[in-house]
Structure 1
Amino acid sequence: MADGSPMTGFDPVELAIMGNRLDAIVREMTSTVILTANSSVIGMARDFSCSILSADHDIIGVAEALPVHAFGSNLQGQAMAEFHPGFREGDAFLNNDPYNGNTHAADHTILVPVFFEGAHLFTSVVKCHQADCGNSVPTTYFAAATDVYNEGALVFPMVQIQSDYTDNEDIVRMCRARIRVPDQWYGDLQSALAAARTGERALIRFAEKYGAERVKAFVTAWLDYSERRAAAAIGRMPAATLERHGRLDALGEFLPEGVEIFVRITIDPENRKAVVDLRDNIDCVDAGVNLCQATATGMAITGIANCLEHDLPLNSGTFRRIEVLLRENCVVGIPKFPHSASTATTLLADVICNTAQSAISEIGDGFGLSESNMFLGVSTGVISGHDERGGGDYVNQLFLMGGGGPASPEADGLDTFTVIAGAGLCYRDSIEITEQRLPMLVKSMKLVPGTAGAGRQRGGVATRTEFGPRGSEMVVMQVTNGVATGPRGVQGGHDAFPGANIKVHADGTEEVLPGYLHTVLKPGETIVGIDSGGGGYGDPAVRDPARVLADVAEGYETAGRAREIYRVAILTDAEGFATGVDAAETARLRGA
C-alpha cells in the first residue's frame, strides 16, 4: 500500500521523506564507524550495525544493518529503560549481555538516549563485533565453551559508559586490563561512541525541523504504514503450514552429534500474518552454540522477510506481522543462565534463516529462496600471535572469504555473500591492507568453478583462500558448519558443495581439519578455507543456454557440468576457452 495514515494526516511524500531521512542518519552513523574504527573486522569488514529506536523502543531506522544485528536493539532499548529508569541527556550505555537483548558477548553495543526539549525522543544504537572481548581463548566464537564462566568474556549488562558526555574510566580500565588488544579495543569504543553521538546530533536537527509532536505522529504513521505493507504482502500468499529440518554439523567432542533443528511456519493470509514456531527443539546444550532471544527471533523474521517484497521497511511495524514463538532454555530460544551463546550470530542463526526461507519455497515455484553458504571457514577465522615486525601482540578476525548467496525464483545468488546473517552486507578484507596491518601473507584467493548449486537460477560460487604467517607462529581459531553437507537447492535446484578447511604443511602435505579448529601455523605452513556456494533454484535443464555459456566463459561453471547438469553443449577453441553453444547438440541433450 502506498498511503500514509489518515489519522495522523501524513501524505505519502512526507512519510517517505521522513522515513528516508532516518535511514540517511543511520548511514551517516555507519560512515563514522567505517572511517574511524581501529580493528579491520569492524572498519574494513563492516561487522557492525547502527539503528535508531523510538522513545517506546521500536526499531524505526536501520538502513543497511546486518539482519542478525538489527533485531534486538529494541530489546536492548527496553533493558536500558529497565536498568536505568532515570537516564539523562549525555548518558551512554554499554551492553553485550546476551540475556537482556544483545546477540553475543563479542558484540559491544552503545546506546545513547536522545533528548529534545527535555524529553526522551529517540535512542541512537551502534553495535560492533570486537576482535577480542576477553574470552578465555583468543576468539570471539568459542563454541566449545561449556558455560558463560568457561567462555570467560567480559560481560557488561547495560552499564553506564558515559555520563554528561564523559567516559566512565572504571569501565575503560577494566577492559584494558582484560582485553588482549586494549588500544585497538579502545579505538573501536571511541569510534562507536562517536557514531552514536553523530546520530544524536542528526536526530536533534530532525526534531528541530519537524517539532516533537510531528515526529511522534510520524513514528506512529511510519510503523503503521510498514505493518500494512507487510500484512498486504503476506495476504497475497497461499495459506500453508510448512515444516522443515535444518542441521548444525557435529563439532568435536563437545557436540559429537551436532544439532537437528525443526522449523514450523504458518502462513495465514486471512489474518495477514506469518508465524514461525521454534519451540519444538532441544534444550540448551553445554556448548557455546545456543542462540539468544535476539538472534533466534531476528533470524526467523529475516527468513520470512527475505521472501516478501524487497522494499518493505525493516522496522518494528513490519515485524509485527511475523510472530516468532520461542521457549525458555531452548537451543534456539531464550537461553537459561549460565548457558553460553558465544556463537549466537552464526551457526544455528544461519541454519534457522536458511531453513525458514527454503521452507517457503515448498509453497511452489516463485516462492522462497534456496539456502546460502553457511560455512564460516578459516578465511573468517580469528588469528592471533606476536607481530615480529615490532607491532606487539595481535588478535583480529579475518574476512577473506566469499561465500555463495542463495538463488531466488528470478536471480542467481551473489558470489561474495558471506553468510545469511550478514545478507551480503559485510565487506571482504583488502589483501594488501591486511598484509600491511598483520604479519601474514595471502597466497591466493579465487572463485572455485562448479561449486554452486545448479538451477534455473544458480547459487553463488564458492571461494578458495590460502594464507599463512610471515616469521612467527600464528594461532587460527574458528568454528564451522557446512563441512558435512552443503546448502540445499529448492524446486529442483541442486545442492551446493560443502566447504572445507585444510592445513598445508611445510612439505606440501595436506591435512583436512575438523569443523571446530584451534590450530597453530608455523612459518612455511599455510591454511586453506574453501567455503560453499549457494543452493540452486529450479530445474537446471531449463536455464537459458546463453547464461550457461556466460557462466562457463567467466569461470563460474565448467563445460563438463554444463553438459551433464544443464544439458548445454559448449563449444571451445583450441585453448579450451568457451566460444559458443552447440545449438543442435543442446537440443538433443535437452530432448533426451
Structure 2
Amino acid sequence: MARSAKPSRKPKRRAQFDPILLAVLSSRFESIIREMTNTVMKASRSSVIKNARDMSCGILTYDHRLVSVEEALPIHVNALELTTKPITELFDDIKEGDAFLNNSPFYGVTHHADLTLSVPVFFEGTPLFWTLSRSHHADIGAPEPSTYLPFAASIYQEGVHFPCVRIQENFKDKQDLLRIGFQKIRVSNIWHGDYRAQVGACRIGERRLKELVARYGVATIRDFIEAWMDYGERRAIAAIKRLPAGTYVYEVRHDPVAGVADEGVPIKAKVTVDPKKGLVTVDVRDNQDCVPGGLNLSEACAVASCRIGVYYNLEASVPHNEGSSSRIVPLLRDGCVVGRPKHPTGTSCATSNVNERLANAVQCAFSEMGEPYGMAEGGGNFSAALGVISGVDRRRAEHVEYITQLMLALSGGPANHGHDGWLTYECSVGNGIMVTDSVEVDEATYPVLVEERRICEDSMGFGQWNGAPAVRGFYRSLTGDMTLYVCGDGGTFPAKGVLGGAAGASCGTWRRARTGTVERLADFFSGTIADGEAVGYRSCAGGGYGSPRRRDPERVAEDVNRKWLSVAAARDVFGVSVRLNSNGVDYEVDAEATSSLRAAAGG
C-alpha cells in the first residue's frame, strides 16, 4: 500500500526551461483535460451535462495549484484550489485509489448541484496531481424538484450535501455512501450514471498523467510546472501593465425576489489596477450582508467571479493557471452576499443570478477607463428557456419519471470595443461554453414539444457595437402536467450598455392557456404547467457598447437582412436608411438618405 500523502513543499521555480518543451507539455496537459471532458459528455446520462455541457474538468498540482483547465465553464474552474485544499486538511491517509466527492459550498465547491469528484494522482508512491471533474446534476434531492431554490434560506432545504467524503478506496466505490444518493435523489439511476461518467473522466486523467510522467520523468514535469506558472504570471503582468492605472467602480442590481430581496440586490465592484506591480485588486466588501434565501454566493463563486471579470479584460492568450490568477486579488467579507457565507446559509443559486451580476460588475468596471476598454453587461439567467422541468413520461408502456434543465435559448452576450455580442453567450460566468439544446434531442429524450425558437427582432442592446439579441419561443408537455422552476433575473433590470450603448431586452416567462390566452408569470416562478398549456420564454439580450449613431451603416443593413433589426429601428435608432436592392429581397444602405439622417441628428 502506498504511504500516506502529505502536500510537498513548493519547489523553487526554475528560471530557464526549454520553450519548445514548455509548449509541448502545456498542450499535452490540455489534451488530457480534453479527453476527460469528452468522457464526461459521452458517458453522462442527463441532458444538462451531456448535451448542454454544464460540466468542467481540470488538473491541479497536489499542493493545490491550478495547472490547466482547457475549455471549461469559467465559474467552475477559476477557484478550484478551494475544492482540493479541504481534502488534505481533513484526511491524513490519502492514498492511491482514493476518490473524493464534494458538493458543499462550505468546503470549497460552487453550489450543491455541482457534484465534484477529485482523484489524487500518485507516481511511484509520490502524490503529484489532482484530477477533477465537476458536473451540474439535474437533481440533488431537495424538497422541490429543482437545484435552483431562491427561497431556500439554509442548506437544510437544499437536498443532499457530500461535505468532502471519500467515495472510493482502492479504486472501488463505497456502497454505503452511494446508497445515500440512491435513497434521496430523484431519478437516481440518471444521477448514478452521471457520477460514473465523472469517475471515468478522473481515472482516465490519472492514467494519462502517469504515462506523461513516466515518459518525461518526475524532475522534468516538476520543472515544467514551475516554468508554466512563471509564464502565466509573466503574461498576466505584461497584460496588466498595458492598462491605465486607477480605481474604477461599477454597480449593478439583481432583480427583486419577494421575501428574499424585495428591492433587489445591489452589487458594487471596486477594481484597482496597478500597472507598476502588475496587479489587479477586486474589492467587493462594500456590499450587503447575506440575504434569507439561496441567492448568496459561496466563497468559490465569489473568488471565481472576481477573477473572471478581470480575465475578460486581459489578452485572451494569457494562460489561466495559478501563475496568472496570483496577479488578481479578490477582497471578500465574511457574511456578505458576494463574500464568504456562514454555515448553514443557503447558496443554491450561487452559480447564477447574483453571481452573474458580480462578474458583470467587475468586467464593466473596465469600461470606466473609456474606449477601447471594458465591455457592456451580458444577459442574465434564466427565463423558462433554461427552466428546470420534471414530470412523468407516459409515451411508452412503462412510465418513467424525468427531471432535467433545458437550455433552449442562451442569453445574449455583451458588446465590447470592436465586437458585437454573440448569441450563445449564456451568461457572464458561462461565456459561450454552454451549448444550446438540440430541439430534436430534447424531444426524443423528454416528453416535450418545442413549438418555436427564434430571434426577437429589435431586442439587442443598440450601440456602435451591439449586444446580442434575445431569443423567444414556446414549448409544452406531451404527457400530462409538467412542473416548472424558473429563476429569471433580468426581467426588471436588463443588461445595461456602456459608453452610450443601450440596454438589451429583458427576459420573461409566460403561460399560454388551453384557450390560447397568454399571461406573464413571475420571473421567479415554481408551479405546475397543466396538460394542454404551454410555456413561453424570452431570454435576456446583451448591452451595447458606444453610441448607436456611430455604427457602421453596412453592419446595420446586415442586421436588417438577418431579421434581427427592423427597418424602422435602423432609421430611428441608428440613423441609417435602407432600401430593397435589385433582387427585391435584401436591403442595402441608402447612403444619401443616411447621411442626411445622421447630419440632422448630429451623428
Q: TM-score, normalised by structure 1?
A: 0.97
1:183-218 per-residue CA deviation (whole Å, 9 max, x = no partner) reads 000000100000011111111111112111111111
Contact 2:392–2:479 (Cα < 8 Å) also in 1: no
Supply the distance in 1 between the matched residues of 2:257 and 2:140 (Cα, whole angstroms): 23
> Which residue number corresponds to residue 57 of structure 1?
64
CA distance in 2, matches of 1:157, 1:496: 40
Of 508, 511, 514, which aligns to 2:519? 511
Letter in 1 for 2:465: Q
Task: Find the counterpart in structure 2 of residue 104 from structure 1.
Answer: 111
**Structure 2 counterparts to residues 38-187 of structure 1, below 5 A:** 38-151=45-158, 153-187=159-193
From 243, 247, 253, give the equivalent of 2:259: 253
Which residue, 462, 468, 475 being the options, matches 2:483? 475
Aligned residues of 2:13 and 2:226 also touching (Cα < 8 A): no
The Cα shift of 1:465 comes to 2.4
CA contact (8 A) 1:106 1:140 kept: yes
Q: Deviations over 1:476-521 (max 9, x none)?
A: 0021210012111111111111111111111111111112101211
Distance 1:347 1:6 in 2: 40
**Partner of 1:407 in structure 2?**
415
CA drift at 1:24: 0.9
Structure 2 CA distance for partners of 1:535 and 1:577, relative to 1, 3 Å: farther
Cα deviation digits, residues 149-181 of structure 1 (max 9, x gap): 123x10011101110110010111110000011
In 1, Cα distance between the equivalents of 2:534 and 2:393? Answer: 17
Check conservation: 2:412, 2:422, Cα contact below 8 A. Answer: yes
Separation in structure 2 between the aligned mates of residue 280 and residue 293 of structure 1, nearest angstrom: 16
- Contiguous gaps of at least 5 residues in structure 2: 1-11
Is 1:290 the counterpart of 2:260 in the alignment?
A: no
Match of 2:579 in 1: 571
Match of 2:550 in 1: 542
Question: Structure 2 matches for 1:282-321, cutoff 5 A?
Answer: 282-321=288-327
CA-CA distance at 1:574 after TM superposition = 11
Distance in 1 of aligned mates of 2:479 and 2:446: 11
Aligned residue runs from structure 1 range 416-431, under 5 A: 416-431=424-439
Query: In the aligned structure 1, how far is the partner of 2:276 from the partner of 2:261?
Result: 42
Whole-angstrom CA distance in 1 between matches of 2:14 and 2:186: 55
Give 3-state SS (helix, strand or coil) of 2:107's partner: coil
Q: CA RMSD in A?
A: 1.4
- Rounded to whole Å, the distance in 1 between the matches of 2:536 and 2:412 is 17
1-side partners of 2:29 and 2:591: how far apart? Answer: 53
Distance apart, 1:262 and its partner CA: 1.3
Distance (whole Å) between structure 1 residues aligned to residue 592 and residue 465 of structure 2: 23
Query: Structure 1 residues 7 and 183, CA, compared in 2 at 3 Å: closer, same or farther?
Result: closer
Q: Are positions 1:210 and 2:216 aligned together?
A: yes
The 8 Å contact of residues 378 and 528 in structure 1, kept in 2 or not, is answered as: yes
Matches within 5 A, 1:331-342: 331-342=337-348
Work out whether residues 376 and 481 of structure 1, in 8 Å CA contact, stay in contact via their aligned partners in 2.
yes
CA contact (8 A) 1:441 1:467 kept: yes
Which residue does the alignment assign to 2:377?
371
> Does residue 459 of the first structure (1) align with residue 478 of the second (2)?
no
Q: Is the contact made by 1:570 and 1:578 (CA closer than 8 Å) also made in structure 2?
A: no
Distance 2:81 2:584 in 1: 56
| 2:500 pairs with 1:492 | yes
Q: Alpha carbons of 1:586 and 1:143: their partners in 2 closer, same or farther (altered >3 Å)?
A: same
Q: Shift in Å at residue 355 of structure 1? A: 1.1
Q: Write the deviation string for residues 49-95 of structure 1: whole angstroms up to 9, x where unpaired.
A: 00000121111110011011002321111111111222111110100
Asked whether the equivalents of residues 460 and 468 of structure 2 are also in contact (C-alpha less than 8 Å), the reply is yes
Paired residues in the alignment total: 587
Pairwise CA distance, 1:579: 2.3
Shift of 1:136: 1.2
* Counterpart AA for 2:446: L
Secondary structure of residue in 1 paired with 2:106: coil
Which range is displaced more, 487-496 or 341-350?
Answer: 487-496
Alpha carbons of structure 1 residues 529 and 239: separation in structure 2 relative to 1, 3 Å = same
Task: Compare 465-474 and 386-395 and name the one that shifted more.
Answer: 386-395
Secondary structure at the residue paired with 1:379?
A: helix
Distance 1:417 1:254 in 2: 28
Q: Distance in 2 between matches of 1:61 and 1:574?
A: 53
Who is 2:8 aligned against? none
What secondary structure sits across from 2:341 in the alignment?
A: coil
Any idea what the Cα deviations from partners look like across 1:202-248, whole Å, max 9, x if unmatched? 11111112111111111111111101110111111111111111111
CA shift in 2, pair 1:133/1:487, >3 Å: same
Taking the TM superposition and a 5 Å limit, the aligned residue runs for 1:219-234 are 219-234=225-240
Q: For the residues of structure 1 that align with 2:19 and 2:566, how far apart are their CA atoms?
A: 49
Tell me the alpha carbon deviations over residues 306-348 of structure 1, each in whole angstroms, 9 at most, x when there is no partner.
Answer: 0110111011111100100001111100001111110000001
Partner of 1:448: 456
Q: Give the aligned partner of residue 39 of structure 2.
A: 32
**Partner-residue secondary structure (3-state), 1:433:** helix
Q: Give the letter aligned to residue 469 of structure 2.
A: V
CA–CA separation in structure 2 for the residues paired with 1:500 and 1:582? 36
**Cα pair distance change 1:147/1:210, threshold 3 Å:** same
Q: What TM-score do you get using the length of structure 2 for normalisation? A: 0.95
User: Residue 467 of structure 2 aligns to a residue in which SS?
Assistant: coil
Contact 2:58 2:69 in 1 (8 A): yes
Alpha-carbon distance in structure 2 between the residues aligned to 1:356 and 1:424: 18
How far does residue 573 in structure 1 lie from its aligned partner after superposition? 6.5
Give % identity: 38
Which amino acid in structure 2 is aligned with residue 432 of structure 1? E
SS of the counterpart of 2:499? coil
Q: For 1:325 and 1:364, locate their aligned partners in 2 and report how far apart those are by CA, in whole Å.
A: 25
| 1:13 alignment counterpart | 20
* 1:253-291 deviations in Å (ceiling 9; x for gaps): 333222111111111112111100011111111101100
Contact in 1 for aligned 2:14/2:223 (Cα 8 Å)? no
**Aligned partners of 1:574, 1:400: CA distance in 2, in Å?**
37
Counterpart CA distance in 2 for 1:344 and 1:498 is: 21
Match in the other structure for 2:328: 322
Query: Once the 2 structures are TM-superposed, how far is the Cα of residue 471 of structure 1 from its aligned partner?
Result: 2.4
* Separation (CA, whole Å) in 2 of partners of 1:561 and 1:85: 65
**CA–CA separation in structure 1 for the residues paired with 2:587 and 2:135:** 47
- In structure 2, distance between residues paired with 1:575 and 1:533: 32
1:281 is matched with which residue? 287
- Is the CA contact 2:389–2:404 (under 8 Å) kept in the aligned structure 1? yes
Secondary structure class of the residue paired with 2:258: coil
